[in-house]
Amino acid sequence: MRKGNITGARALIKALEAQGVEVIFGYPGGANLPIYDELSKSRIRHVLARHEQGAAHMADGYARSTGRTGVCLATSGPGATNLVTGLANAFMDSSPVVAITGQVPRTMIGNDAFQEVDITGITIPITKHNYLVQEPFELPHTVEEAFFLASTGRKGPVLIDIPRDVQLEEFAPHQAKYPQLEGYKPTVEGHPGQIKRAAALLKGAVRPVIIAGGGVHLGAARSELVALAEQAEIPLVYTLMGKAAFPNSHPLCLGLVGYHGRIESNTAVSEADVILAVGTRFGDRSTGPLATYARQAKIIHIDIDPAEISKNVPVFLPIVGDAKGILAQLAALLPAARHEEWVRRLREVAGAHPLKAKLKGVNIPNVLSVLRGLVSDPLIVTDVGRHQIFTAHYLPVDGERSFISSGGLGTMGFGVPAAIGAKVGNPGRTVVDISGDGSFLMTCQEIAAAVAEEIPIVVLVMNDYCLGMVKQLQDAFYGKRHEACRFGRNVDFARLAESMGALGIRVDQEEGIAPALEQALAAGRPAVIEFVLDDPANVYPMVTGANLLEYVE
């Protein structure tokens, strides 16, 4: 090597170090080995996943729980395609992730070489942007740009595909002028005129409601949101992504809104005269049927992505920009106000529609209630299914970034790896993944990664011996014909966990719930508790009609 020259792989690792990357979740293969060879000389920690999808979810869980950009690394071909679900998941929930893939050497691209796949082509629809690096000297700038794109504006995953020969080729670090991101200028500052108009609208509101979405976390706007809600006494509902955007036990917090929302939340949205929506894209799970959605309300929509304005729901007053600054400016213009009658009305609705699940026996609400008594402010991760909605309803979280779930894509198998990523980013916090038997089996191999890397997560497998949400849909809409919804002979989850070196506990009696949770929380190593549910129940409320107030509870 010529003096002063460095290889592409070295330049990549240096650029990652310059971004402050502390951990990479990855899986090696032929086309990324030069990167691994350099990684071994770096102070960046590597967590070896057991499947690339796991690596992508880990990076995503790390990002959601810390606010920092998560990084995953895979090889070409199947390694790259295995990242796809994880990237789509991060994309739907606007999670800042940088994915790095190895690619076959430049001369072989397009020849259908061994383990070649056009991953930049495949991931165009599920990344914010992606790169196929053609020259090693592009790497430092590409990495910088990728992190900038992933973590600014509407956040999201960015993929960098690097041919193996580019990783190996040397270049002299030079100061060539790089192309600018001319077309990328996210609006950060909210328009002052719009903020003034929003303040006037809220000031005149009789039945105002705030809808908090995932953008509140992404914009780190939680304390501004709480301050504004308190100052003007505005009740608040949250989407699944916005669950930890507001202290759940706050008196103004009504609960989950939408398809599986609380009656008081859906009543609030349906009867509101002004809605302040913050960082939510009015996804169909949170709105229910659009034709009847919030008919009485003038909607103020704060979002960093102009394309979300009036995409699904007509917006009366858009404010494009960063929620933190906008909420602070809005609060400064809002006089203190009370909406006693409105709040009383919603409390009455809430009082008339309490959550109805029983807290006896081995069932999800009861397990969650015991868990809540044992650990304060845990970082909760969920998988996807009935347990996910049960957790949204029955496990209030008050801490910031305390609830992580796959919202937009609804990815079964997200829980275990996302919990691993979250624990890596928050070693001081108790991280509990709440999963179902179906979801757990999709990525349970990552328990082996958690054991090997000494990442002590606690996984609760709510075993109802079936695909609970599928069963619920079949109950409601398919005449209770439970086709393909039962697994038949089930897995012994405790022994499965033990076989991977984790603590495994099986609980099938109510008396066993608390001791098992205590043991797992104190284990200091990965633990899996299988709860054999004695009376698996469907999760309600559920909207079944043409508007948010036609429901089964």
Which stretch, 121-129, 251-259, 425-433, 511-519, contacts another protein (CB under 8 A)? 121-129
Binding residues for another protein restricted to 165-184, rule: CB under 8 A: 179, 181-184
- The residue among 172 and 181 lying less far from another protein, judged by its C-beta, is 181
- The residue among 313 and 328 lying less far from another protein, judged by its C-beta, is 313
Structure tokens at 57: 């979810």
Does the protein bind another protein through residue 290 (CB under 8 A)?
A: no
Rounded to the nearest angstrom, the gap between the alpha carbon of residue 495 and the centroid of all alpha carbons in its chain is 29
Lay out the site mask for another protein across 130-149 (x = CB under 8 A, - = otherwise): --x----------------x
Does the protein bind another protein through residue 18 (CB under 8 A)?
A: no
Quick check: helix, strand or coil at residue 211? strand
Nearest distance from C-beta of residue 182 to another protein, angstroms = 5
Does the protein bind another protein through residue 125 (CB under 8 A)?
A: yes
Structure tokens at 494: 């405790």
- The residue among 294 and 350 lying less far from another protein, judged by its C-beta, is 294
Nearest distance from C-beta of residue 125 to another protein, angstroms = 5
Q: How many residues does the chain have?
A: 553
Does the protein bind another protein through residue 281 (CB under 8 A)?
A: no
Does the protein bind another protein through residue 291 (CB under 8 A)?
A: no
Near another protein by CB under 8 A: residue from 307, 337, 522, 552: 307
Cβ neighbours of residue 105 under 8 Å, at least 6 residues apart?
113, 163, 164, 165
Near another protein by CB under 8 A: residue from 66, 81, 310, 547: 310
Cβ neighbours of residue 259 under 8 Å, at least 6 residues apart?
284, 285, 286, 288, 542, 543
- The residue among 33 and 109 lying less far from another protein, judged by its C-beta, is 109
% helix / strand / coil in the chain, to the nearest 5? 40, 15, 40
Which stretch, 22-30, 122-130, 393-401, 532-540, contacts another protein (CB under 8 A)? 122-130
Near another protein by CB under 8 A: residue from 95, 120, 151, 439: 120
CA distance 520 to 490: 22
Does the protein bind another protein through residue 306 (CB under 8 A)?
A: yes
Helix (H) or strand (E) holding 143: helix 139-151
Quick check: helix, strand or coil at residue 103? strand
Owner of token pair 């994880």: 86
The count of residues interacting with another protein (CB under 8 A) is 20
Near another protein by CB under 8 A: residue from 121, 173, 251, 373: 121
Nearest distance from C-beta of residue 154 to another protein, angstroms = 8
Structure tokens at 377: 């402010």
Burial class (CB in 10 A: 0-12, 13-18, 19+), 193: exposed
Number of other CB atoms surrounding residue 509 within 10 Å: 11
Nearest distance from C-beta of residue 305 to another protein, angstroms = 7
Do residues 511 and 442 touch, judged by C-beta distance below 8 A? no
Structure tokens at 442: 């999709």
CA distance 199 to 204: 9
- The residue among 152 and 426 lying less far from another protein, judged by its C-beta, is 152
- The residue among 46 and 141 lying less far from another protein, judged by its C-beta, is 141
Residue 148: half-sphere exposure toward Cβ, Cα within 13 Å: 12
Does the protein bind another protein through residue 311 (CB under 8 A)?
A: yes
DSSP 539: -
- The residue among 28 and 105 lying less far from another protein, judged by its C-beta, is 105
Residues that bind another protein (CB under 8 A): 120-121, 124-125, 128-129, 132, 149, 154, 179, 181-184, 305-307, 309-311
